[in-house]
Amino acid sequence: MCPAEPLAAVPSDAALIAAWQGGDQQAAAQLVRRHAQALARFLAGAGAPEADLDDVVQEAFVRAFRALAKFRGQCQFRTWLFTIGGNVLKDARRRAQRVRVVPLGEELRARDGDPYERAVAGEAEQRLEEGLGRLPRLQREVFLLRAQQGLEYEEIAVALGTTPGAARVHYHHAVKRLKEFMQ
């Protein structure tokens, strides 16, 4: 019987962070590849316009790498990245309020997939997006971190600088308001 080939070791986020801090640019590239889609999903859920999603994701990574000295591993790197992404999105919204933007009509927005499926699946999703847009930022982020990303309240609390009990309360308020809005 042949000895099993050892699995290629997958470096942890902490190892990649240390490598990046030691000057290894490929470590940064690996971190971006590992977390970019999850970050994009979180930001899209939080209301980032599709057209700006790439820019917001890039900016979040750049800010995160420049602030890595402040990251003490108190929560997962990905969760910390989400909170930075939330700040980037907030700044982008503030800037957008200063610049008048004429939105595209629904019929002009680029959409992929089968129109019927999209209509059925997309309607509830669109209502949820609208509902999330009406929530206070903290409730929205707690809801997304919990319901979309599947994080525990303890992890959410550390990332958002609150307590697990408060995070739980925010989540339940968010759910209540979203259900009211969607019904």
Partner 1 sequence: MKHDDADLNDAMLRDLAQRLGTRAAEQLDVDRTTEAVLRRLRAPSRGAARWPIGIAPAWLRTAAVAVALVGAGLAVRSDVLRRPRGVAVVEPPTGELNDLSPDQLRAVLEVVEQPAGESATVSTQDTGLEDLSAPQLRALLASLEG
CB of 82 to partner 1, least distance (A): 12
Residue 42 as a binder of partner 1 (CB under 8 A): the answer is: yes
| Closest CB 97 distance from partner 1, rounded Å | 16
Exposure string over 44-62, b if 16+ CB within 10 A, otherwise e: bbbbbbeeebeebbebbbe
Residue carrying structure tokens 């050892």: 6
Q: What are phi and psi of 109, to 5 degrees?
A: -75, 140
Residue ranges in 57-96 that form contacts with partner 1 under rule CB under 8 A: 57-58, 61-62, 65-66
CB 143 to partner 1: min, Å: 7
Return phi, psi of residue 99, to 5°. -110, 125
Quick check: 128 and 175 in contact, CB under 8 A? no
> Does 44 help bind partner 1 (rule: CB under 8 A)?
yes
- Sole window of 43-51, 80-88, 93-101, 157-165 interacting with partner 1 (rule: CB under 8 A): 43-51
The stretch near partner 1 (CB under 8 A) out of 2-10, 51-59, 88-96, 98-106 is 51-59
**What's the CA angle centered on 81, arms 79 and 84, to 5 degrees?**
115
Q: How far is residue 35's CA from residue 119's CA, in Å, rounded to a whole number? A: 29
- Residue 67 makes CB contacts below 8 A (sequence gap 6+) with 84
Distance between CA atoms of residues 134 and 130, nearest Å: 7
Judged by CB under 8 A, does residue 156 bind partner 1?
no
When binding is defined by CB under 8 A, the residue of 91, 125, 130, 154 that contacts partner 1 is 125
Q: Which of 67, 104, 120, 121 binds partner 1 (CB under 8 A)?
A: 121
Residues that bind partner 1 (CB under 8 A): 25, 28-29, 32-33, 36-38, 40-45, 48, 50, 53-54, 57-58, 61-62, 65-66, 112-113, 121, 124-125, 128-129, 132, 143-144, 147-148, 150-152, 172, 175, 178-179, 182
